[in-house]
Structure 1
Amino acid sequence: MVPPPLRTPRAAAWWIVPAALLVGGAATVMAWWLLSSLPPLPKAAEEATARQGAIQTALALAAGIGAAITLMLAFRRQRHQEHATHVTAYLTERNARLAEQVAEHNRQDATERRVTELYTKAVEQLGHTTAAVRLGGLYALERLAQDNPDHRQTIVNVICAYLRMPYTLPSDSTRHDPIHAVPRATVAGASALAAGHDPHEERQVRLTAQRILAEHLRDDRTLGQSTTLANSRFWEGMRVDLTGALLIDLDFAGCLTVDAWFEGTTFRGRTDFRRTAFKGDARFSGTIFERDVWFAEAIFVEDAWFTRATFEGETGFSEATFEKGVSFGGAAFTGEVNFGDVIFKGEVGFDGAAFTRDINFGDVTFKGDAYFGYATFNENVHFEKVIFEEDAWFGEATFGGDALFDDVRVLRLDNEHRWPVGWIVVRQKDGSGLLQRDDAEPSPPPAVAEDE
């Protein structure tokens, strides 16, 4: 409700004087008119009575006018009272709203001050020389992020920055050797790794930091569960930057991130990205996987980069989906590799990639251009039942073992292709092509129904 505009009240004389003049003037005019219109009367008594009646009539008229003015004044007074009540209610409501806003602002301000104090204290704990205190700092940051969603990305950034700090894995010879202590570094302005940290204790701190990230990036719905709403522990929309970090036995299975940066990262233990959903760019360029790594059933919504990455253990991408382009250019695979049933919806590049052990591309669908130029396959490579929907390029690729391209389908024969030496495409009745050895008997065309 909004009250009418207020105005300064006028002095009472502005209506009292005109009202008095109106009453007096009306009585005078009425008396003069009645007296002047009296006819001549034969007796003086009758004339006096007539004049008295005229004067009484004039006075009655003046009284009526005065009563009307009084009624108008009473109405005006009532309106003023209602207006005053309306204004009072409006001011009361407005003041109450202002008081609530001030209280809410004060509450938010107190909350922000409290969060800032807890955040500052937790970050300072990350730079403590005692591992238990650093662990306490991590758990304090986790609790702070869980209770304050607006601060989650900042806290994820701090944990990622901690994991990016230089660190040397412990060994039996370095358990009590201060020479291998990690150099001093900073996280968010605080000393993160003071000289003299025990590498075994620091390993536990880092494993805890990894578990905190994994737990809150894991969406139960990506694991095939029937949960319609995300778990309250899931932090949606986080960006993870672990560029150059040393990660130990990382388990990001079922996690969901917006952007993920792992360039130059070293994974020293087993690494699990199964059923992980990368909603933004996924960058693994220059990454080193020293042991087995799995990306089975992972989903890459945007572009993915594995350029010059090193895979030293078993590598699994089976049933993964790449919605856009992906590059494995210059990547080195020293263990067995499985890309079975992968769907590449965008351009994929394995230019210059090196495969030391067996590699499986069985049942893969390449919906975009596929480049294997200058790739090296030292042992057997399986491309059985692969479908190439666009260009396929194997120029200058070398094969040290068996190259199996049985039942490979090529959908666009007019596109630019470069097949491995000894393989040719034979046009089929349905217009597609079937990859066959150059010296093999042509395969019979696929059966076609009579009505076709």
Structure 2
Amino acid sequence: MPVGDAGVEAFRTTVRQVAEATGEQREAALRRLAALGAADPALRQGAVDAICAFLRTPPAEPAGASADAGAWREALRALGGLLRPSASASASASASASGEGAGAGGAAPEIVVDLSGATLVDADFGGCELAEARFADARFLGAASFADARFTGEAVFARALFAGEARFDGARFASDAVFGRARFRGPASFERVGFDGMAWFGRGEEEIWEDDPTWEMVEDVHPAAWDEPNEDDPDWPVAVLMGDYQGWSEGGDGARFVGPVSFRQARFAGPAWFFKARFGADAAFTDARFGGPVHLDQPAVDLAGARWGGAADDEPVCWPLGWTPEPGPDGAGALVPDRSVAPYARQLADPDPDVRRAGLAILGALGDARPELRQRVVDTVCGYLRGPLPFPVTGDLNPGQAGEVELRRGAQRLLAERLRPVGPTPDGAEPGLRHWAGMSLSLCGATLIDFDLSGCHVGYADFMAAQFHGVTRFDASSFEGAVFGLGGPDGRASFHGDVTFAGARLDRWRGARDVLGGVVFHAGVVLDDAEAGDGTPPGQE
């Protein structure tokens, strides 16, 4: 039953204690707050808001190591209890165990959760029911579970960092699920997840109208540090002005998966958008169901048993090279191996480096023989190069790591040899057997090692946030247009070793210094046959 005026006053007092007390007193206040929220549905949203406000407070010490670590754990337990359908029973049991009474709970209201920017340790939201949920820029340390959770409103995990295992198995998203530029460092599982709205794993920038008051808070948003192996912080923006992007394929990096990820038996009723997402290991979409536009072309993706039931006018629909929909009697197309590109058959996804090496050779020969497939082959090789590496590429490497680096160099050579026109290269080396004219490169966020595009002719090239290690050569190269960032320092590429742009044309209409504005140079850079200085960005000498 409702707790009445006295209960409301007790609730306000308890909220103050959660904010101001410390140690065991704060833990006790959190338990009382959970009991009060469970006892009266009218107080439940306020209790959740107070707990979320506490969890959003930056810890003075590393999360889990402070003297108040017990309160953080208690806050997560209390929040999970209030968000589960059995909130009243669990909170009442907790109150009884601590000697505090609680009345019977009423019908569970839809609860809004805002944990934007919070640091959460071993967060367990399994089985919880949430309305609108904001976990943008949250740091999930340890394991994180949303297994069997239900989201009735928009769920935003944009730019969130999952440092350990992340589980969403059996979760249901009734509206849009936004994982733009989320980073998954450990294994991730979205098995049997239902995405009723858009499943967004693309860019991480939010689009905001010019007069939206949200702009006043954007400067206070601080995403988790970009301390990934081999990668400088690209300084991706948090938000852009509505209208800056004209399509879904514009903008910065997508979600980043270092470990294996599974979407087995997931159901995508709306758009499934993985444009610019990066997969560093297996990406299983086996037995998944797709019902709308799809952009999922990374070579690591396994679509065995998957089906697509979208309409003929659904655009875009983009699958990895080697997969194609085959219409079935129920109107849904089964995703089957594409025999027309044999002998290529997902070799780049194989854990055996020798198989991947053979796959690169097959792709090169396939493009040589079939000009209509060349751009798709280039996209596939670029997708392979965009996969994040879990180890530093400089310094001492074990044999397995050295093999991975050499494979990456081989993929780079495949591209360069076919992007050079017939004729000798500037250093006298022989060009590739064929020139694949007009190809575009999508290398956003790629880790490139001793990358040599000298003398190459390229259409459009996306090097936003690319990380160039070793010696890089663009001398005498020609591009219809190349970008190394979103503009200024946003999404900037980084050169960790020497680079030369001598004689290069990076854009038909802009000079090289303009194109390279905002790029970070850690070593020497040669531009227009003149030394621009060590680490000095062009245009800022």
- TM-score when normalising by structure 2: 0.46
Instruction: Tell me, in whole angstroms, the C-alpha distance in 2 between the residues paired with 1:234 and 1:214.
Output: 17
Q: Distance in 2 between matches of 1:359 and 1:254?
A: 25
Does the 8 A contact of 1:217 with 1:234 survive in 2?
no
Distance change (3 Å), C-alpha of 1:111 and 1:233: closer
Once the 2 structures are TM-superposed, how far is the Cα of residue 168 of structure 1 from its aligned partner?
4.8
Whether the aligned pair in 2 keeps the contact of 1:244 and 1:266 (CA below 8 Å) is: yes
Report SS of the residue matched to 2:38. helix
Q: Partners of 1:161 and 1:413 in 2: how far apart?
A: 45
Tell me the residue number matched to 2:340: 438
- Deviations 1:115-149 (CA, angstroms, capped at 9, x unpaired): 34323322332244531111122122222223332
Whichever residue aligns with residue 342 of structure 1, its letter is: A
The alpha carbon displacement at 1:424 in A equals 5.7
Describe how 1:121-270 pairs up with structure 2 within 5 A. Answer: 121-128=13-20, 130-170=22-62, 199-219=65-85, 232=105, 235-270=108-143
Corresponding residue for residue 365 of structure 1 = 289
CA drift at 1:430: 8.9
- 1:339 and 2:241 correspond: no
Judging changes above 3 Å, is the alpha-carbon distance between structure 1 residues 207 and 440 closer, same or farther for their aligned structure 2 residues?
Answer: same
In structure 2, what is the Cα distance between the partners aligned to 1:320 and 1:429? Answer: 25
Greater helix content: 1
Partner of 2:304: 384
The structure having more radius of gyration, on CA atoms, is 1
Please state if 1:280 is matched with 2:153.
Answer: yes
- Structure 1 residue 425: deviation in Å? 6.1
Shift of 1:428: 7.8
Q: How many residues align?
A: 273
Q: Which residue of 1 aligns with 2:393?
A: none
From the superposition, tell whether residues 418 and 244 of structure 1 become closer, same or farther in structure 2 (CA, over 3 Å).
closer
Deviation sequence 1:362-414 (CA, Å, 0-9, x none)? 011111111136x5x5xx431112112237xxxxxxxxxxxxxxxxxxxx599
Larger relative contact order (Cα-Cα within 8 Å, sequence gap ≥ 6): 2
CA distance in 2, matches of 1:237, 1:414: 33
Q: Which residue of 2 aligns with 1:84?
A: none
* Distance in 2 (alpha carbons) for counterparts of 1:160 and 1:259: 14
Distance 2:337 2:72 in 1: 50
Measure, in 2, the Cα distance between the counterparts of 1:367 and 1:123. 45
Secondary structure at the aligned position of 1:247 is classed as: strand
CA 1:139–1:438 in structure 2 vs 1: closer, same or farther (change >3 Å)? same
Q: CA deviation at 1:215?
A: 1.4
Q: Is the 8 A contact 1:215 1:234 kept in 2?
A: no
Report SS of the residue matched to 2:338.
Answer: strand
Q: Is the 8 A contact 1:220 1:254 kept in 2?
A: no
* SS of equivalent to 1:152: helix
Q: Name 1:35's counterpart in structure 2.
A: none
Percentage of pairs with the same residue: 31
Aligned residue for 1:306? 179
Alignment partners' CA distance in 1, 2:79 and 2:19: 19
Q: SS of the residue aligned with 1:200?
A: coil
1:309 counterpart letter in structure 2: A
What SS does the aligned partner of 1:118 have?
A: helix
Change (3 A) 1:316 1:125: same
1:355 to 263, 279, 289: 279
RMSD: 3.1
Contact 1:426 1:435 survives alignment (8 Å):
no
Task: Indicate conservation of the 8 Å contact 1:426/1:436, yes or no.
Answer: no
Unaligned ranges ≥5, structure 2: 88-103, 203-253, 344-541
The verdict on how the C-alpha distance between 1:131 and 1:370 changes in structure 2, with shifts beyond 3 A counting, is same
